[in-house]
Structure 1
Amino acid sequence: MLNQLETKTADELESQLLDFKQWNKRSRDDNIKMMIKMAVCMANGGGGSVIFGVVDNVKGRANAILGVPKDVDTSILQRRVHERTDPHLTPQFEDIFVEEGTTRLLLMNVFPSSPPYTTTDGSATIRQGKECIPLTGTLRRQMMSTSSEMDFTAEVVQEDWKELFSHSAMERVREIMSRERVDETLLSLSDEDLLRSIGALKDRYLTKGSLLLVGKPEAISKFIPQHKWSYRKMISDTDYSQRDDGVHAIPVALYELERYIAVDNPMVTVEAGLVHPEFSTYPTIALREALLNAFGHRDYRMMGTIMLKQYKDKLILTNPGEFVGGITPQNILHHPPVARNNHLMDLLDRLKLVNRSNLGVSRIFRSLLIEGKEPPVYREIGSNIELTFISSPLNKNFKNIVNHMSQENLHVDVDHLLVLQYLIRHEEIDTTIAAEVAQRSLEQARELLSKMQNEFHLLEAVGRGKGRYFTLSRNAYEILKGDLEYERQQSLDKEAVKIRVLSILKTGRSLTNKEVRQLTGMNRKQVHRMIQELKTNGVQVIGKGAGTKYIYKS
């Protein structure tokens, strides 16, 4: 295309998906502002690319190509665009090296996603033809009303479905349906009737979503070349001992990936009377839900692969596409369900492969936490979503406490499990931390901790007011760690309280007996005894009666 600049201007080469911009030598900030504006414009218009370093109204390569400075750091540019767009956009930058100008051009690729997008100050444009026009209220309403029409997986593949259909993929679908105890009436249908009943066949054509479910690999490669999955058994961050790549339908890919994981997914047997249940390092429920979510929510308009890396101590699952609809790693557990590929997710739901009520993420968390294992970790890295499972052993005592609560007819949900799991590692928790851990509001976290104290008797409160925090109760401690551990922790807690009071006094602030009681949860006599013990550390008592205060003097 650059060779065409000999006879055409860059403006003549521009299109819906391509724009040229000259680099402003006088102001790098102006260039960043232009990048942010163009990223929003292209994203709202369905994606596209911008080449920086080309004058758009002259002919001749030597005249048109001026280039960009060689010291421009693309990672900084990417971060600035990400920070100043809402929802965040993370364009990909590439260098194009030429002979003219500075010898360097900069290509910014903006991938299609889920508009509308704006700058952080609320302004927005949208690509229409070769122009970026204001994204007015009317255009925004039209965009939202037609969002369902933008679903890539709902597009129809105009070829005879039987030529695209994979019997082995359909067999895998039926196996999963049977395992999930789907209605026998649905299972008894012929392949064609089953596909038609769930909306996978429109007239005699498959949709791209149904092709992803029951299509032959060669058909998927032809019509959905973006679809790909990969497995790596990692030796280190840079080396692997085993690999596999495929373009199979989702149920077949699911089977292959689970098979690879199972080779190095140790089982632990727990003796419980006549029954000896087995528990794997990575619970099957968590793995299946995570893999199906990765395939169901990935952005099929982007090139990329669903990558599963299996390390000795963790699993990392990555899929192309950013979070949509306001979902973030910090609210994913309780956020209302949002789907990029509504048609595909509907098909998976009707086949009972997934649940559209946002139970999938909760199942992932619960299946790990109920065994006393680390919760999963979600991250958004560039234009990809990463999910990490930590290889942690079964905690039999944690299972015991969950079983104990069940026997008491007390339902322990994911929020409770997250708080308990945190307390195993950190010994104490307050409302602010509980809100962060359980992904709840402060008010919800306050109610959560209160219920775990007053109804479940799993927690004990220490202190009052803003200094209030919670620890495991004696009963919970005895089940989880044993009585001796509880006594040891009580001793540590007492020392921690003394250190806390002493540190406040060392700031120059005085405290009354009442204030120390509110801070620590102790009674009047306990505070008095503690102050006596702290006198050797420089604490002094001044005044008498109600006017008594504690101060520190070195």
Structure 2
Amino acid sequence: MPFTIEDIQQLISAEESDSLEFKETTGQLTRGMETGCAFLNSEGGGYLLFGVTDKGIIRGQEVTDSTRRDIATAIRKFEPAYTPHIQYVSLPSSSRQVIVIHFIDQLGRKPYLFDGKPYRRIESCTSVMPQPLYHDLLQRRIPRPDWSAQIVDNATIDDLDPLAIRKARELYASKHKEKAQEAESWDDMTFLNKAKITVKGKITHAAIVLLGKEESGALLSPAVAQIRWILKDSQGNERDYEIRGCPFILNAEAIFKKIRNLKYRYINPEFRTLFPEEVDTYEPYVIREALNNAIAHQDYTLGGQINVVEYEDKLVFSNKGSFIPQSISNVLENDAPEEVYRNAFLARAMVDLRMVDTIGSGIRKMFNFQRQRLFPLPDYNLQNNHVQVTIIGKIINMEYANILANHKNLTLMEVEALNRVQLGHPVSDKEIAWLRKKRLIEGRKPNLLIAKHVAQQLNQKTDYSNNKGFEDSYYCDLILKALAEHHSLSKQEITKLLWKKLPDILNEDQKRSKIGNLLTKLRKQDKIVNRSRGIHSEWYLKE
């Protein structure tokens, strides 16, 4: 439920406690996240509020894109991976906001670490957790039952779709060719048991999800098994939609066929030809793997649908539940199957039916397909107990993507991190360090740039210059020359003079701050003087 300012006032009517922490600004982000870790390691969780003094006075703070990026980067430091619920509550008649972050361990995964250390909360104090307590919590970590393996009461084979069972037999035979002839002699129930979709003749949740009749989806209640496809135009308006339920073994393919996989044409400079390359907008494997991964790892108990949103040049897949491997870097770095699955029974059945690869290899294949096609890599958003992956079906920058795809000394992890720099997504300090070591980036966090020598190789010289901008002396000379010509200029006029010349990588707040710093610099050098204050101030050359 969305927080209101009244909710915040009621929450802070009590003092800081073992479940409540105030921080005046995100300048105290690290200390705040240490407390968030302590809340996760407690029984009832807690609320962390930025924009409230330690005396409980609501002041709010300015929330910029940089603020949100810093919070997202900090959240990536939790282990096991955790995404808290975050709300930004605006103050009345103000641009300031209070940031409300709720931490609670609902999955029984404590102890949690932040930046490699476990924390605990006693009264209103946060401290590093003693090792004996940490090991005790580790041993008591609650094993989560596999929802997909649970038996559906009173369900029988009559609740399964015969066409879906026939399709499962075909897929099983193609996967297990050595058993194909023998499988032909099995009756349906024997096949389902052998394929590990049922257990000793009893119908599982996984069996209903994959093979159940449309009306059998009700047997999963309150869980939901539905896939929703939405078609949107360039303005984001919904043009069409379709919702499919059980059986997913058939309806996943039906959703796949709804997606318009048109031909995409482009000139590939690698081959130095005037004739365009022609490929499908989306590699079929990537579509199927993204969709079937969502089916395998959806948290069905949360009652949400699996969504496939089709735009003109991208597909967005989303499912409920946290990302089990914790981060994409873990998948790319550890080229091995994941040891833990949310729906282990369902996932194993889907692997046996050739619906998905193991999670590690499947995602890596998706990344490599996009890289080989010179398209942006899959873009994962792992927040608020929700997994979203965006597949872009075109080249954003042909030269950049082409050279990276054929750069033999770059690993897939390095390409993925560099891809995030290009897209303006958060990059960790560790990633920044090794990208700098290879001289691939420059600039200061969060305003990172593809390094100049790389930009020149990629024919991105103008983009690089637009992002980096000019030396301060250039802007100062512009101000001084304009004052000499016009005698005086208001702050508004100076802003208009410089605005389009400032680096493109700066947001509006950063540009205004940059202009203010330039004026302060010239004033301290006794070159200009301000005879009033505010946006309507008048600046003059100092005589």
Query: Are the structure 2 counterparts of residues 288 and 394 from structure 1 closer, same or farther at C-alpha, using a change threshold of 3 Å?
Result: farther
Q: Alignment partner for residue 231 of structure 1, among 224, 229, 232?
A: 229
Displacement after TM superposition at 1:291 (Å):
0.7
Aligned partner (choices 140, 160, 164) of residue 138 of structure 2: 140
Is residue 321 of structure 2 the alignment partner of residue 324 of structure 1? no
DSSP 3-state at the match of 2:300 = coil
Task: State how far apart, in whole Å, the 2-side matches of 1:391 and 1:250 are.
Answer: 25
1:90 to 2:88 alignment = no
RMSD: 5.7
Q: Whose relative contact order is higher, 1 or 2, with alpha carbons under 8 Å and at least 6 apart?
A: 2
Q: Which amino acid aligns with 1:281?
A: T
Question: Per-residue deviation at 1:419?
Answer: 8.5
Q: 1:228 to 1:266 in 2, by over 3 A?
A: same
| 3-state secondary structure, aligned to 1:333 | helix
User: Aligned residue for 2:110?
Assistant: 116
Matched with 1:169 is: 164
Change (3 A) 1:181 1:30: closer
TM-score (norm 1): 0.53
Tell me the CA shift for residue 112 of structure 1.
4.1
1:90-143 deviation per Cα after TM superposition (whole angstroms, max 9, x unaligned): 248899xxxxxxxxxx99796843612437462469xxxxxxxx9774453243
C-alpha distance in 2, partners of 1:235/1:117? 45
Contact 1:161–1:205 under 8 Å retained in 2: yes
| Structure 1 residues 416 and 319: CA distance shift in structure 2, 3 A | closer
Aligned equivalent of 2:341, options 339, 342, 346: 339
* 8 Å contact from structure 2 (residues 84, 384) kept in 1: yes
CA shift in 2, pair 1:266/1:175, >3 Å:
farther
How far the C-alpha of 1:309 sits from its partner, in A, is 0.8
- The number of aligned residues is 380
CA distance in 2, matches of 1:180, 1:269: 35
Cross-structure match for 2:181: 185
- Following TM superposition, by how much is the alpha carbon of 1:169 offset from its aligned partner in structure 2, in angstroms? 2.3
Cα distance, 1:324 vs structure 2: 2.4
In structure 2, what residue type is equivalent to 1:333?
L
Structure 1 residue 248: Cα displacement: 1.6
Max Rg structure: 1
**Residues 294 and 421 of structure 1, relative CA distance in 2, 3 Å threshold:** same
CA–CA separation in structure 2 for the residues paired with 1:420 and 1:470: 18
* CA deviations over 1:320-355 (Å, ceiling 9, x no partner): 111224x21344323342422211111112222222
Report what 2:261 is aligned to: 265
Provide the rounded CA distance (Å) in 2 between the counterparts of 1:419 and 1:71.
39
* Amino acid in structure 1 at the alignment position of 2:195: I
For 1:88 and 1:307, the matched residues in 2 are separated by: 22
> Any residues of structure 2 matched to 1:211-290 within 5 Å, and which?
211-224=208-221, 225-235=223-233, 239-261=237-259, 264-267=260-263, 279-290=279-290
Q: Rate the CA distance shift 1:472–1:248 in 2: closer, same or farther, 3 A.
A: same
Query: After superposition, where does 1:42-441 map in structure 2 within 5 Å?
Result: 86=79, 87-91=81-85, 112-113=106-107, 115-118=109-112, 120=114, 122-123=118-119, 137-138=135-136, 140-143=138-141, 147=143, 150-177=145-172, 182-183=177-178, 184-185=180-181, 188=184, 189-224=186-221, 225-235=223-233, 239-261=237-259, 264-267=260-263, 279-325=279-325, 327-335=326-334, 336=336, 337=338, 338-356=340-358, 358-392=360-394, 415=412, 418=415, 436=431
Query: 1:288 and 1:323 mapped to 2: Cα distance?
Result: 18
- In 2: Cα distance, 1:414 partner to 1:180 partner: 31
Cα pair distance change 1:246/1:191, threshold 3 Å:
same
SS in 2 for 1:202: coil
Indicate conservation of the 8 Å contact 1:93/1:109, yes or no: no
* Aligned residue number for residue 9 of structure 1: none
Instruction: Normalising by structure 2, report the TM-score.
Output: 0.54
Aligned: 1:32 with 2:20: yes
Q: Which runs of 5+ in 2 are unaligned?
A: 1-9, 23-34, 48-55, 90-99, 122-131, 441-450, 475-543
Task: Report the counterpart of residue 17 of structure 1 in structure 2.
Answer: none
Could you tell me which amino acid in structure 2 is paired with residue 232 of structure 1?
A: I
Counterpart Cα distance in 2 of 1:328 and 1:135: 27
Q: Percent same amino acid at aligned positions?
A: 16
Provide closer, same or farther for how the CA distance between residues 356 and 213 of structure 1 changes in structure 2, counting only shifts above 3 A: same
Distance 1:142 1:283 in 2: 44
- Structure 2 contact 230–241 (Cα < 8 Å) conserved: yes
Q: In 2, Cα distance between the equivalents of 1:388 and 1:155? A: 32
Q: Structure 1, residues 405-424: CA drift from partner, whole Å, max 9, x if none?
A: 9xxxx9999739949997xx
Measure how far apart 1:166 and its partner are: 1.5
C-alpha deviation, 1:282, in angstroms:
0.8
In 2, Cα distance between equivalents of 1:91 and 1:186: 51
